[in-house]
Chains A and B, each alone.
Chain A
């Protein structure tokens, strides 16, 4: 077993160590007292272009041909830019413009690249350079000189001596960014408190259920058995401001099942209308739209993270990372037979948040 913190003398014999390394602690490294010697560089082998003038000529020809080819590519790209207009809006034209312009650019670039690499590899000297490495920390003299600079600066400024000045400066430097930090409060609107906003949506008692995106109200009789509708509150499509924000909370999926398949919990028996149920479409995991409805199993699937909800059991989670069921929108019909909300959702929709309880 290795003994740690051995002094440098243990490894002084290490052949692979530089003279300057010798006093450095090698930790638990095993130092071979009689290591193999580095055999030094093998004899230099000449390339074929070094020895055969014909091959050298050929390499030279290849390189300049590539560079000329690059010029051809550039001209090609410029020509393609002009010869392949896209103004017709026809996707084929756009594809052709993209392809021919791109091929020209690619040729211009690749030919320079291959030419330069070929030049370097076959014609430039392949004799390698050997640089000595030096200890990264610099020589002891340099280090001492740097330390002296700091010592002198400390002495001349009194940074250590005048501790009250120093500490008050540190305090000031810590305090001065605070206003900047506070100013970032303005990133969120000053007149909004998040939590109440997250608790409410656009749905009110009597708001008609409307089709997304047309906004046409839906009659209960239009909802046939097994069908599913993407639903928004009536009036959302006409909103001047905040349409997407409201939609991000109020989007609903409407489905009609056999009433016998539904298992409402006590108090929620009348939230459905004749087998028609409405659930928030916003996933309770991180808020993706739960848009995939599997009709024969009555399961809803979120395509983002695969949470699955069982509509026959009040959208309870049956698989995936979501925890809470999708909130149900209580619905009924109005006098004209249109589906309407009985109230807003009774709990916040969408992803969980800290203040939710």
Chain B
């Protein structure tokens, strides 16, 4: 009995405490909790976009797992024998038939299927918006460049996940989507024909593509997405989140609610809100009603068909090619009506991934940046972003050119020509307008810092003159407006060898483009001077 004495002498612990001790003694989690449990997590609505992406992926994962229990990734021909009367007896692939069964013969199946599709659409959309937030606030700057790369990879993977999933039911709409992919691949120089044969296991459509896409859709791609998300989040922890300049928030701290409990409460709750909103959408709004399209058949097609939204820009790029861009040269067919849009999309994506490195090279700034920029304070970057968004939007709109034409009673040709013009001119217009707006806002900020804001109080001076009283800012409000990075154009100087290289010239001209019309932030001396003027 004496051996039991020390145990009984130990302080009595609650069940949770005992459980925590039990787990910790086997995992050493205490150090982890101590390190991360109270980490500050800066808060802002725009930081939620990445969370939406993460949470919708979780929803996609959960609902997708359910679907795998019923879906048959097989193109074996069967005669449909389910509950949906109009298709009874129709020949279709097992993939299509099992998708119909999920929709019509498994209770809750349609709900899960619709939630899966809606969540996938939201997943890609949230990644896109999250990327725009990162871009416009400069949150890709050192030390976060890798996370920009990973985020970009996730965006591409998400689109690939979306397209492979979209193609699985083997319905008429997705089959025509695959037909377009086949035509696109065949048009690529040198590798096209064989690549198509390898993808489809012979001639299009073949009998293997659904099974192959299924492997990618539920195994390879999700594994890559999960790995990328894990690295992405580990780096967020390592870097600590960015924050907007505010009183008390500096380059050297991270300020926000601690992970436990307040942040966990908010983010955990937000997960359920995202999940719940998707459930609500899935219960009321039909998505991808494959029973209306019927099984894939290479001959019929319905007018006004649309891909899922994130493929729109690629489909639009194909539509915008002017007639006649195909030549036979050296006894080979050069399909520039395919090569050109593929190249345009490729260049667009490469520019997106390369931008942080280009900007860092132009600035030459090797410091870490943890305060997010206000978009106005980086006018050229913001304007380039607006140009990119416009370019993407033009491609995207082109994917609906026929719908636009029929809805607004325009000619098909007129819509295409208009979007072609927008594709070329729109980015320039967006660039100039955005840059002017950003600079205008910077000027307004300067005004407010120097002369205060308009109080709306009109005062009549003894001389009969009316003036509006300007209220000076308090130091907290002022700090938000004066705390910003500022850069000047690079002065070209010979290097150590006394030479000016082409690279240096390029960098100097880019630097001039970026920074020549900068609005300098207010300095203390200027503020003093303006106070002096007022008295």
**Footprint of B on A, CB under 8 Å?**
1-5, 16-18, 21, 24-30, 32, 34-36, 38-42, 81, 84-89, 94, 97-103, 105-121, 124-126, 128-133, 135-136, 184-185, 187-189, 192, 194-195, 197-198, 212-213, 230, 232, 242, 244-245, 247-249, 251, 281-283, 285-289, 291-292, 301, 303-306, 308, 317-324, 350-357
Contact flag A188-B201 (CB < 8 Å), given A305-B318, A306-B416: yes
Question: B336 CB to closest chain A CB, in angstroms?
Answer: 9
**Cβ-defined contact, B193 with A124, below 8 A:** no
- List chain A residues, Cβ under 8 A from B191: 354
Partner of B489, one of A1, A34, A194, A285: A1
**Cβ-defined contact, B193 with A16, below 8 A:** no
**Cβ-defined contact, B283 with A98, below 8 A:** yes
**Cβ-defined contact, A306 with B490, below 8 A:** no
Please, how many angstroms separate the alpha-carbon atoms of A289 and B412 in the complex? 18
Residue-wise, chain B 483-503 has the 8 Å CB interface mask toward A (1 for contact) of 101111111010000000000
B residues 185-212 touching A (CB-CB < 8 Å): 186-194, 196-199, 201-206
Please, how many angstroms separate the alpha-carbon atoms of A246 and B351 in the complex? 42
**Cβ-defined contact, A3 with B493, below 8 A:** yes
- List chain A residues, Cβ under 8 A from B479: 36, 38-39
**Cβ-defined contact, B279 with A109, below 8 A:** yes
- List chain B residues, Cβ under 8 A from A87: 83, 105
| Chain A to chain B contacts (Cβ below 8 Å), 19 pairs | A2-B491, A5-B364, A24-B366, A27-B363, A27-B364, A28-B487, A32-B521, A36-B483, A99-B283, A101-B111, A115-B269, A129-B39, A132-B253, A244-B297, A248-B205, A286-B183, A319-B412, A319-B416, A323-B323
Given contacts A38-B479, A230-B299, A322-B337, 7 further A-B contacts (CB under 8 A): A1-B491, A4-B493, A38-B483, A89-B104, A133-B254, A286-B187, A356-B332
Question: B330 CB to closest chain A CB, in angstroms?
Answer: 9
Partner of B284, one of A99, A136, A232, A248: A99
Among B21-29, B217-225, B255-263, the one that faces the other chain is B255-263
**Cβ-defined contact, B194 with A113, below 8 A:** no
- List chain A residues, Cβ under 8 A from B176: 288-289, 304
Please, how many angstroms separate the alpha-carbon atoms of A351 and B337 in the complex? 11
- List chain B residues, Cβ under 8 A from A308: 412
- List chain A residues, Cβ under 8 A from B321: 321
Most chain B CB inside 10 Å of its own CB: which residue of A25, A304, A319, A324: A304
Please, how many angstroms separate the alpha-carbon atoms of A86 and B322 in the complex? 50
Partner of B365, one of A26, A106, A110: A26
Question: B400 CB to closest chain A CB, in angstroms?
Answer: 11
**Cβ-defined contact, B284 with A102, below 8 A:** yes
**Cβ-defined contact, A29 with B486, below 8 A:** yes
Cβ of B442 under 8 Å from chain A: no
Please, how many angstroms separate the alpha-carbon atoms of A249 and B298 in the complex? 8
**Footprint of A on B, CB under 8 Å?**
38-40, 82-85, 103-105, 107-108, 110-111, 114, 143, 176, 179-180, 182-184, 186-194, 196-199, 201-206, 238-240, 247-258, 261-266, 268-277, 279-280, 282-284, 296-305, 315, 318-326, 328, 331-333, 335, 337-338, 362-368, 370, 401-402, 412-413, 416, 475-476, 478-479, 482-483, 485-491, 493, 511, 515, 520-521, 523-525
Name the residue on B nearest A117 (C-beta). B269
Name the residue on A nearest B482 (C-beta). A36
Please, how many angstroms separate the alpha-carbon atoms of A35 and B387 in the complex? 34
**Cβ-defined contact, A116 with B269, below 8 A:** yes
**Cβ-defined contact, B247 with A42, below 8 A:** yes
- List chain A residues, Cβ under 8 A from B197: 188-189, 192, 194
**Cβ-defined contact, B182 with A351, below 8 A:** yes
Partner of B273, one of A110, A120, A283: A110
Name the residue on A nearest B304 (C-beta). A303
**Cβ-defined contact, A131 with B39, below 8 A:** yes
Please, how many angstroms separate the alpha-carbon atoms of A96 and B216 in the complex? 34
**Cβ-defined contact, A352 with B335, below 8 A:** yes
Question: B307 CB to closest chain A CB, in angstroms?
Answer: 10
**Cβ-defined contact, A248 with B298, below 8 A:** yes
Question: A329 CB to closest chain B CB, in angstroms?
Answer: 14
Please, how many angstroms separate the alpha-carbon atoms of A24 and B315 in the complex? 46
Please, how many angstroms separate the alpha-carbon atoms of A130 and B254 in the complex? 6
- List chain B residues, Cβ under 8 A from A24: 366-368
Please, how many angstroms separate the alpha-carbon atoms of A195 and B324 in the complex? 23
**Cβ-defined contact, B299 with A133, below 8 A:** no
**Cβ-defined contact, B323 with A321, below 8 A:** yes
- List chain B residues, Cβ under 8 A from A100: 283
- List chain A residues, Cβ under 8 A from B280: 102-103, 106, 110
**Cβ-defined contact, B338 with A286, below 8 A:** yes
Contact flag A319-B413 (CB < 8 Å), given A86-B105, A131-B253, A354-B189: yes
**Cβ-defined contact, B265 with A98, below 8 A:** no
Question: B293 CB to closest chain A CB, in angstroms?
Answer: 13
Name the residue on B nearest A112 (C-beta). B272
Contact flag A86-B107 (CB < 8 Å), given A38-B248, A129-B255, A286-B179: yes
Name the residue on A nearest B180 (C-beta). A286
Partner of B110, one of A36, A98, A129: A98
Please, how many angstroms separate the alpha-carbon atoms of A32 and B524 in the complex? 9
- List chain B residues, Cβ under 8 A from A18: 251-252
Name the residue on A nearest B279 (C-beta). A106
Please, how many angstroms separate the alpha-carbon atoms of A5 and B494 in the complex? 12
**Cβ-defined contact, B277 with A110, below 8 A:** yes
- List chain A residues, Cβ under 8 A from B269: 112-120
Name the residue on B nearest A248 (C-beta). B298
Question: B4 CB to closest chain A CB, in angstroms?
Answer: 41
**Cβ-defined contact, A81 with B108, below 8 A:** yes
**Cβ-defined contact, A27 with B487, below 8 A:** yes
**Cβ-defined contact, A124 with B262, below 8 A:** yes
Question: A218 CB to closest chain B CB, in angstroms?
Answer: 15
Question: B432 CB to closest chain A CB, in angstroms?
Answer: 23
**Cβ-defined contact, A324 with B326, below 8 A:** yes
Please, how many angstroms separate the alpha-carbon atoms of A69 and B303 in the complex? 45
Name the residue on B nearest A350 (C-beta). B183
**Cβ-defined contact, B262 with A354, below 8 A:** no
- List chain A residues, Cβ under 8 A from B198: 184-185, 187-188
Partner of A105, one of B111, B324, B521: B111
Please, how many angstroms separate the alpha-carbon atoms of A322 and B483 in the complex? 55
**Cβ-defined contact, A28 with B511, below 8 A:** yes
**Cβ-defined contact, B303 with A282, below 8 A:** no
Contact flag A245-B203 (CB < 8 Å), given A98-B283, A117-B265: yes
Contact flag A94-B40 (CB < 8 Å), given A34-B523, A128-B255, A133-B240: no
Partner of B268, one of A94, A116, A288: A116
- List chain A residues, Cβ under 8 A from B485: 29
**Cβ-defined contact, A36 with B524, below 8 A:** yes
- List chain B residues, Cβ under 8 A from A317: 323-324
**Cβ-defined contact, B104 with A86, below 8 A:** yes
**Cβ-defined contact, B299 with A120, below 8 A:** no
Name the residue on A nearest B176 (C-beta). A288
- List chain A residues, Cβ under 8 A from B298: 244, 247-248, 251, 282, 289
**Cβ-defined contact, A323 with B250, below 8 A:** no
Partner of B366, one of A25, A34, A38: A25
Partner of A109, one of B238, B276, B337, B401: B276
- List chain A residues, Cβ under 8 A from B284: 99, 102
**Cβ-defined contact, A109 with B275, below 8 A:** yes
**Cβ-defined contact, B266 with A117, below 8 A:** yes
Most chain A CB inside 10 Å of its own CB: which residue of B110, B266, B272, B274: B272
Partner of B299, one of A17, A97, A251: A251
Please, how many angstroms separate the alpha-carbon atoms of A121 and B412 in the complex? 52
- List chain B residues, Cβ under 8 A from A213: 297, 299
Please, how many angstroms separate the alpha-carbon atoms of A356 and B183 in the complex? 13
Question: A241 CB to closest chain B CB, in angstroms?
Answer: 9
Partner of B179, one of A126, A195, A245, A288: A288
Partner of A197, one of B110, B203, B303, B320: B203
Please, how many angstroms separate the alpha-carbon atoms of A206 and B291 in the complex? 38
**Cβ-defined contact, B401 with A102, below 8 A:** no
Question: A62 CB to closest chain B CB, in angstroms?
Answer: 13
